């Protein structure tokens, strides 16, 4: 199946291959990422909505309890007042004194009543007939249903009642020493003690019930009844001291994020980006390939034996450079055809192959130089910096065939390599150099630090997720020995082998090559050692200074 698909792709035109590659490398990852983002966003929105609902419930419950406590404090203030107690303790025979105290008592009750906006009425019930203020003072014997009166008379607590859709708070008026009860204070509480802060749920489909046992005392809903089956979130809380409870039910529709503006916006943006990306890739590929197709048509004529054609060099990019090099190649081929017999051309094919392999470095420098100039002309400082460091790296690596040179050449090479890696990693790690200046004229084998630094990046820095990577390169001498150390703070090797030294059999090709070169040059006891520890990995190159001589590669 895979082979069949691969064959079909190979038969497609280059433009279609670009489209397929765009789909596989761009569209599919973007779609997968969008699905992940949608999933994460949906969960995040639901979590935020749930958190908001819980916060509103907490605030609402706290507000109601504070309002309840405010009412209880007002009642407690009145019932514990000594003036009211003394007033109720007077016998009917003390009529004159009762008249004298009436004004103070009335002020006490009216002030408590008016100072609390949640009270609609405040009354005092006792077994005495007090005719001074019938609106406030009532005789308990006149009550049709005195169950609340008896319960309050016998209880030292503040009690809450609900009768005929009204809410009351009661407390007895008594003295502790001697233990005597004079009457009961009853205050009618407005419904807004519960509904005052419900406005905070105006943006939520909510159903709120205040219940006494199974009886519903108060219910509020803003988008129809929300029952247990349709509730997306439900919470039940007790209203302290009242003996009642409050139930919050938020409809499941509130937690549905399918049509949330952020989700819709994200989908629309991704679709537009993919569509624009496809159109852009299609048009840009057609534009870029138009010139390439012209070159292909001309090369086909060369295949038929026409070496006199000239390909138009209309662009200054890599395709234009390709056309220029093809033209140079055609001129050289024409010259060779003119200079030698076709019979000798076959004998020279191997020599041409060898010549081609030797030309490659020069061709690389030419291309890097061309890219460098293009970057300068275009103002692409990043490309200019990369090509400059790449040129430095290959110049010092190839080094005109010399495999032993001064230490400063090796330092220049490794700094260029590290700078390239920093660019590739978006400056994602730190580098520290500790090099004794007096050693820069020391002769060393070239291209020995690069494999160790490459290992430090690939197996150390690239494997780190929680902290920033760091590489330290140190070069120093002790007596007749030169040491080069490369340290990184990655823990991959430590997790693999623990604390200790890595065996030479586990070295990779590049490190093994460096180790063998040093052993051949300096003898046994020298070479590369790699150590792992909880602080990271340390690679050490040990050289014998007086064994290093200037040599040239044969």
**DSSP string for 54-94:** HHHHHHHHHHHHHHHHHHHHHHHHHHT-HHHHHHHHS-TT-
How much is the pLDDT for 315? 63
How much is the pLDDT for 503? 92
Which residues partner with 212 through β-bridges? 215
73 with 200, same domain: the answer is: yes
| SS3 state at 357 | helix
22 with 43, same domain: the answer is: no
Which residues partner with 246 through β-bridges? 210, 237
Establish how many alpha carbons lie within 13 A of residue 365's alpha carbon, considering only the half-sphere containing its beta carbon.
13
Last residue of a domain, one of 217, 232, 258: 258
Q: Structurally, how many domains does the chain consist of?
A: 3
Residue 445 domain-assigned (yes or no): yes
Helix H or strand E encompassing 377:
helix 349-378
121 with 152, same domain: the answer is: yes
Residue 237 domain-assigned (yes or no): yes
- Low pLDDT (below 50) residues in the chain: 341, 343, 345-363, 366, 549-554
Residue 276 domain-assigned (yes or no): yes
Of 486, 419, 480, whose CA–CA distance to 451 is shortest? Answer: 486
218 with 142, same domain: the answer is: yes
How much is the pLDDT for 343? 45
Which residues partner with 486 through β-bridges? 473, 539
237 with 89, same domain: the answer is: yes
How much is the pLDDT for 328? 80
How much is the pLDDT for 160? 93
How much is the pLDDT for 487? 96
As a whole number of angstroms, the distance between CA 257 and CA 85 comes to 61
267 with 248, same domain: the answer is: no
534 with 459, same domain: the answer is: yes
Residue 378 domain-assigned (yes or no): no
Last residue of a domain, one of 306, 327, 356: 356
40 with 105, same domain: the answer is: yes
Q: Is 255 exposed, middle or buried (0-12, 13-18, 19+ CB in 10 A)?
A: middle
140 with 268, same domain: the answer is: no
154 with 173, same domain: the answer is: yes
Contact 211, 247 (CB under 8 A): yes
pTM for the full model? 0.45
Specify the CATH number for the domain of residue 459: 3.30.565.10
∠298-300-301 over CA atoms, to 5°?
A: 65
As a whole number of angstroms, the distance between CA 426 and CA 433 comes to 19
What residues have CB less than 8 Å from 355, skipping those under 6 apart? none
Residue 322 domain-assigned (yes or no): yes
Residue 323 domain-assigned (yes or no): yes
33 with 23, same domain: the answer is: no
Residue 405 domain-assigned (yes or no): no
The 10s digit of each residue's pLDDT in 48-64 is 888 888 898 999 999 98
Domain with 505 in it: 427-547
Last residue of a domain, one of 330, 356, 382: 356
305 with 251, same domain: the answer is: no
Residue 319 domain-assigned (yes or no): yes
């Amino acid at each position: 199946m895979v082979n069949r698909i691969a064959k079909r792709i190979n038969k497609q035109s280059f433009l279609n291959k670009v489209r397929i590659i765009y789909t596989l490398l761009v569209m599919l990852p973007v779609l997968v990422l969008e699905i992940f983002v949608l999933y994460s966003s949906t969960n995040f929105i639901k979590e935020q909505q749930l958190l908001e609902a819980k916060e509103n419930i907490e605030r609402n419950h706290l507000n109601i309890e504070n309002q309840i406590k405010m009412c209880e404090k007002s009642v407690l203030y009145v019932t514990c007042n000594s003036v009211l107690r003394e007033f109720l303790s007077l016998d009917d025979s003390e009529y004159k004194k009762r008249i004298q105290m009436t004004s103070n008592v009335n002020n006490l009750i009216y002030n408590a009543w008016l100072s609390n906006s949640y009270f609609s009425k405040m009354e005092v019930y006792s077994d005495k007939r007090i005719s001074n203020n019938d609106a406030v003072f009532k005789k308990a014997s006149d009550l049709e249903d005195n169950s609340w009166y008896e319960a309050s008379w016998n209880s030292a607590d503040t009690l809450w009642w609900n009768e005929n859709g009204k809410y009351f708070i009661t407390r007895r008026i008594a003295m502790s020493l001697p233990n005597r009860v004079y009457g009961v204070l009853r205050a009618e509480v407005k419904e807004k003690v519960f509904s005052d802060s419900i406005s905070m749920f105006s943006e939520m489909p909510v159903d709120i019930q205040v219940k006494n046992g199974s009886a519903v005392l108060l219910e509020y809903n803003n988008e129809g009844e929300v029952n247990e089956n349709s509730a997306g979130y439900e919470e039940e809380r007790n209203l302290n001291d009242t003996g009642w409870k409050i139930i919050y039910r938020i409809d499941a529709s509130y937690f549905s994020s399918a049509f949330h503006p952020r989700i819709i916006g994200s989908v629309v943006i991704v679709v537009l980006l993919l569509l624009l990306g496809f159109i852009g890739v299609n048009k840009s590929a057609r534009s870029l390939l138009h010139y390439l197709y012209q070159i292909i048509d001309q090369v086909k004529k060369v295949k038929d034996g026409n070496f006199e054609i000239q390909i138009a060099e209309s662009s200054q990019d890599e395709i234009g450079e390709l056309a220029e090099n093809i033209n140079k190649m055609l001129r050289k081929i024409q010259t060779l055809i003119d200079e030698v017999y076709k019979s000798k051309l076959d004998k020279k094919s191997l020599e041409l192959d060898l010549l081609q392999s030797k030309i490659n470095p020069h061709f690389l420098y030419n291309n890097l130089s061309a890219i460098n100039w293009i970057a300068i002309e275009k103002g692409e400082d990043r490309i200019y910096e990369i090509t400059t460091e790449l040129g430095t790296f290959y110049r010092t690596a190839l080094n005109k065939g010399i495999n032993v040179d001064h230490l400063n050449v090796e330092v220049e090479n490794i700094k260029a390599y590290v700078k390239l890696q920093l660019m590739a990693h978006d400056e994602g790690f730190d580098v520290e150099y500790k090099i004794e200046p007096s050693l820069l004229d020391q002769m060393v084998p070239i291209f020995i630090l690069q494999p160790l630094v490459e290992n430090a990046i690939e197996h150390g820095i690239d494997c780190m997720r929680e902290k920033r990577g760091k590489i330290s390169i140190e070069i120093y001498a002790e007596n007749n020995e030169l040491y080069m150390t490369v340290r990184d703070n990655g823990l991959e090797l430590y997790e693999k082998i623990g604390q200790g030294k890595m065996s030479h059999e586990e070295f990779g090709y590049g490190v093994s090559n460096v180790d063998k070169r040093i052993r051949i040059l300096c003898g046994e006891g020298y070479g590369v050692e790699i150590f792992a520890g909880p602080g990271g990995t340390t690679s050490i190159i040990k050289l014998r200074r007086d064994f290093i001589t200037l040599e040239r590669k044969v």
